[in-house]
Structure 1
Amino acid sequence: MRQIRSTITKTATVATALAAGLVLSIGGSANATQAAATIHGCPSGAVCLYPDDSWSGDKPTYKFYSYGAHKIYNQYGMKRIFNNQTGGAIARNCYDSAGKDCGGIQRAGTYADYNYTPYNSILLAP
């Protein structure tokens, strides 16, 4: 009888631990989904450029989704860039329109304000 009670207790403990792990796993997925949501008008997976050095009412001027160089036109003065890409993808401001002469790296999940007068493109890369 004592051995059966011990086995039942161990089984219940293992079941409780598995259930707790499942809850943590589900919670982790929910948090990952929230982190990849639209933020300040910038959809998940995009790099957004705003009309000035603020969030501008959550209305970006440009939204870029695909890897490669993206030309920007008539952008002068201070602008905000927000990298809302996923999977660690980066964005770079480039002086040429082909995305070959580029400045520093903007990591996913970050934003920064730059003087865009000298830039002609934004490069998205994995």
Structure 2
Amino acid sequence: MAVSAGPASASANADYYGCPYGAVCIYNGADPNSGIESGGVYWAYGPHNLSNQFGYHYVVNNQYGGAWVELCTGYNGTGRGESIIFGSPYGNSEDLGPINSIVLGTGNTFPCTPP
């Protein structure tokens, strides 16, 4: 499992590379300047299944209050956790080929669990 972090220079309560404050965003490509993909803004805690994700995409965690996003190999937040992106706002280029869901949450218990 990789732990990712990005630049800490962005101001609080602001969009980050177009990702609204409080959300997690998946971009069209490996660079945040590629733009957020259609349907790529996630607000609610819990699992979100992905489809048709191939190769590297930039993933931004612009949530607050210590919230994280975990990338899971299975659907519905199952499988192996491939990466956790902590904090706000941080982003990283991630290979979404093996990823079938993301989970947004808080606390110290990360949800990717064996199916």
TM-score range, shorter chain: 0.7 to 0.9
The whole-number CA distance in structure 2 between the counterparts of 1:74 and 1:56 is 20
Find the counterpart in structure 2 of residue 107 from structure 1: 86
- 2:26 counterpart of 1:46: no
Larger Cα-atom Rg: 1
Find the counterpart in structure 2 of residue 75 from structure 1: 53
> Cα distance, 1:122 vs. partner?
0.8
> Cα distance, 1:114 vs. partner?
1.2
The whole-number CA distance in structure 2 between the counterparts of 1:60 and 1:121 is 17
Would you identify which runs of 4 or more consecutive aligned residues in structure 1 move more than 3 Å?
Answer: none
- The secondary structure found in structure 1 opposite 2:77 is coil
> Cα distance, 1:37 vs. partner?
1.0
Give the TM-score of the pair, scaled to structure 2: 0.75
- 2:36 counterpart of 1:56: no
CA-based RMSD of the aligned residues comes to: 1.2
Structure (1 or 2) with the greater helix fraction: 1
> Cα distance, 1:117 vs. partner?
0.6
The whole-number CA distance in structure 2 between the counterparts of 1:75 and 1:103 is 15
The whole-number CA distance in structure 1 between the counterparts of 2:97 and 2:52 is 8
CA-to-aligned-CA distance 1:32-80 (integer Å, 9 cap, x gap)? xx412111110000000001110135x3110000100101110101111
CA-to-aligned-CA distance 1:8-27 (integer Å, 9 cap, x gap)? xxxxxxxxxxxxxxxxxxxx
The whole-number CA distance in structure 1 between the counterparts of 2:49 and 2:33 is 21
Equivalences, count: 92
Unaligned segments of structure 2, at least 5 residues: 1-10, 107-115
Find the counterpart in structure 1 of residue 8 from structure 2: none
Give the TM-score of the pair, scaled to structure 1: 0.69
Amino acid at match of 1:60: I
Identity across the alignment (%): 33
> Cα distance, 1:100 vs. partner?
2.2
Find the counterpart in structure 2 of residue 25 from structure 1: none
